[in-house]
């Protein structure tokens, strides 16, 4: 329970359905780790979650994840930026902390499920029944029916968060509940108000939890240390300006270059070793092919054809998937804009999440100077 309206309504709905519910808030500001404004925000979240639990008449526990956040999420986040890549810390937090360490703790403590306020759904289906016409779901040895759990998109497409959840282990899906999966955000607000929850009107937080107010530049400056400016190059290798530290920039970025030019400039590549930033026209951002690693599969068999998102706000695009050892080579039917190393690519078939991985590189695009 983050102290927000979504997790609060999730707890309310579970209790209403007869579950024995305990609210757990992950603390991220203890022992000098993740101090400052983000730590104060976390303390406010703890207080708000406690108020909701009192209102619902359920137990409330606080578990300290300060060191885990630092070692497993923040350090990787900083290292990726230092190497010119653009990571997605919310994917790592869900994979490692919430649906990794926290889920394991919950199961060890005797709980049956971990539930959150994410906008996604899990669909358990029984295969191999008498009238199903599908024997592929039966255990090959015993012939018994089995449940197959699928991660699905939320009913509220605007709020769907399945992109951030693709890295959950397939075997963990049976122990996870998403009570808001078939609700819209507006309906969740209505439920919170009718239930008298004290956070019913609490605004959403859109920032990364450890970077308050979205101040990436200030956060990275403190973490990476001294940085030096360098050249901004065009595709011919000409120096057309300067930057204030290559790791501040990400592929597809337009603003913040400080260069007056005859046409709008976009970041095409970042090289933190040479301390260079390459820029060009928007059309130069397009590419059809990428290579992804750290693949997580949520289905037994990956199809050759699927739809994929190369970042959260990106529209799904049709693609072909080719396996190359432990990596995927992905070819889109149409060129995609600003394919960014470090970001996640997530594959879909209809409303089912097939899995995903981390973008390592694009191939067949423009040649950098």
Active site residues: 93, 209
Classify residue 241 as exposed, middle or buried by CB count within 10 Å of its CB (0-12, 13-18, 19+). Answer: middle
- The Cα–Cα gap between 181 and 259 comes to 45
Q: How many residues does the chain have?
A: 369
Residue in the block written with tokens 């054809």: 305
Start-to-end CA distance of the chain, whole Å, equals: 49
Q: Which of 28, 103, 21, 85 is nearest to 59 (CA)?
A: 21
Phi-psi region of 330 (alpha: psi -120 to 50; beta: other; left: phi over 0): beta
In the chain, the largest separation of any two C-alpha atoms, in whole Å, equals 70
What are the backbone dihedrals phi and psi of residue 151, each rounded to the nearest 5 degrees, phi first?
-80, 130
- The Cα–Cα gap between 67 and 31 comes to 8
Residue in the block written with tokens 């913040």: 256
Q: How far is CA 237 from CA 200, 231, 265, 361, in A?
A: 54, 10, 15, 21
Residue 283 neighbours by CB distance under 10 Å: 10
121's enclosing H/E stretch is strand 120-127
Residue in the block written with tokens 């999440």: 353
């Amino acid at each position: 329970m983050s102290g927000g309206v979504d997790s609060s309504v999730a707890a309310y709905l579970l209790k209403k359905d007869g579950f024995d519910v305990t609210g757990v808030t992950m603390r991220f500001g203890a022992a000098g780790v993740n101090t400052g404004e983000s730590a104060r925000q976390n303390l406010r979240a703890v207080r708000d979650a406690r108020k909701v639990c009192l209102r619902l008449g359920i137990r409330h526990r606080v578990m300290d994840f300060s060191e885990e956040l630092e070692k497993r999420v923040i350090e990787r986040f900083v290292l990726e930026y230092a190497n010119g890549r653009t990571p997605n810390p919310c994917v790592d937090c869900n994979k490692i902390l919430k649906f990794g360490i926290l889920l394991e703790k919950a199961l060890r403590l005797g709980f049956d499920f971990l539930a959150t306020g994410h906008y996604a759904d899990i669909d358990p289906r029984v295969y191999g029944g008498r009238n199903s016409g599908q024997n592929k779901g039966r255990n090959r040895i015993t012939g018994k029916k089995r449940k197959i759990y699928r991660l699905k998109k939320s009913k509220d497409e605007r709020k769907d968060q399945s992109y951030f959840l693709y890295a959950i282990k397939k075997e963990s899906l049976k122990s996870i509940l998403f009570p808001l999966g078939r609700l819209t955000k507006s309906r969740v607000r209505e439920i919170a108000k009718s239930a008298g929850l004290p956070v019913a009107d609490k605004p959403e937080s859109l920032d990364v939890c450890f970077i308050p107010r979205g101040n990436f530049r200030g956060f990275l400056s403190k973490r990476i240390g001294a940085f030096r400016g360098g050249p901004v190059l065009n595709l011919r290798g000409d120096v057309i300006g300067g930057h204030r530290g290559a790791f501040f920039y990400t592929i597809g970025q337009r603003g913040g270059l400080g260069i007056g030019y005859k046409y709008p400039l976009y970041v095409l590549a970042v090289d933190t070793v040479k301390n260079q930033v390459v820029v060009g026209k928007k059309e130069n951002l397009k590419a059809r092919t990428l290579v992804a690693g750290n693949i997580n599969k949520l289905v037994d068999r990956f199809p050759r054809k699927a739809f994929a998102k190369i970042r959260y706000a990106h529209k799904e695009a049709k693609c072909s998937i080719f396996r190359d050892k432990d990596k995927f080579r992905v070819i889109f039917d149409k060129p995609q804009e600003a394919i960014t190393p470090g970001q996640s690519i997530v594959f879909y078939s209809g409303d089912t999440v097939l899995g995903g991985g981390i973008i390592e590189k694009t191939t067949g695009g423009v040649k950098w100077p």
